[in-house]
A and B are shown apart, each in its own frame.
Chain A
Amino acid sequence: MSINIRFFASLRETLGKTEDRIEAHMANTVKDVWLQSTQRADMPSNVLCAINMEYVDSEHAVSDGDEVAFFPPVTGG
């Protein structure tokens, strides 16, 4: 199962990457994707998650081909 991953804003800088792609054999949820992509870094409690550009919680299931995004609280407007 192939998952595309995107990181934004301060999270992108902290992790040092904008995008990632993982072949997820054990990743069932968004949280699993985070752990696999970040080498099991702690997931900050305020991180927001999206699958295919829709908000989801970190326990949401992922599917082959999904784009999973992680970002800090939003500050537009």
Chain B
Amino acid sequence: MIEIRDTRFDPWLELQNYTAGLSIKGAYGATAVFIGSMRDLNEGDEVTAMTLEHYPGMTEKHLEKILQQAEQQWPLMDSLIIHRVGEVLPDDTIVLVAVWSAHRASAYDANRFIMEELKSSAPFWKKETLVDGTRWVEKNTPG
């Protein structure tokens, strides 16, 4: 499942709720979870807030494509992406990626693949609010 959220969310609660609805209980042996949250420091500057812009429609379409690629490479039983847009504050969750599979190797590897693909190609952009103005984040840091 893919979801773009414009409000703050608790990733642990989301996972709990999503897992409760899974019909594959007993079948999977591995769940790999990645949570990305906002830091209050970037490139040596204090960051007080962030605005996340996206390309509605293309974002969902592209994330869907990433999940399909992951499913072709690894035997995944389910996968979940929730990504924030709009105004984000330090410690807010930006992204949650979770995958379920029979064994840990495919869960770890698929989760990493999805995150790296998301960061390098899903159409989202961050604009930081600093103490003395705003600036666009120009590129992602290496993993």
Contacts and interface: CB of A to CB of B under 8 A. Distances in A.
Given A9-B125, A10-B125, A10-B136, A76 B57 contact: no
Interface string A41-74: 0000000101001110000000000000101111
B125 A72 contact: yes
A75 interface: yes
Contacts of B55: 6, 8, 50, 53, 69, 71
A16 interface: no
Contacts, number: 73
A40 B123 CA distance: 25
B45 interface: no
Contacts of A77: 36, 83, 94-95, 115, 118-119, 122, 124, 140
B122 A72 contact: no
Interface residues of B, number: 28
Given A53-B58, A75-B139, A76-B118, A8 B94 contact: no
A50 B138 contact: no
A75 B95 CA distance: 12
A53 B122 CA distance: 11
Contacts of B121: 55, 74
Contact of A75 (B58, B61, B115, B140): B140
Contacts of B120: 74
Interface in B123-143: 123-127, 136-140
Interface in A1-16: 6, 8-10
Nearest to B114: A77
A5 to B, nearest CB: 13
A8 B53 contact: yes
B136 A74 contact: no
Given A8-B53, A55-B121, A71-B55, A76 B95 contact: yes
Interface of B: 36, 52-55, 57-58, 61-62, 83, 94-95, 115, 118-127, 136-140
Given A75-B139, A77-B119, 5 more contacts: A6-B55, A50-B55, A72-B136, A75-B124, A77-B115
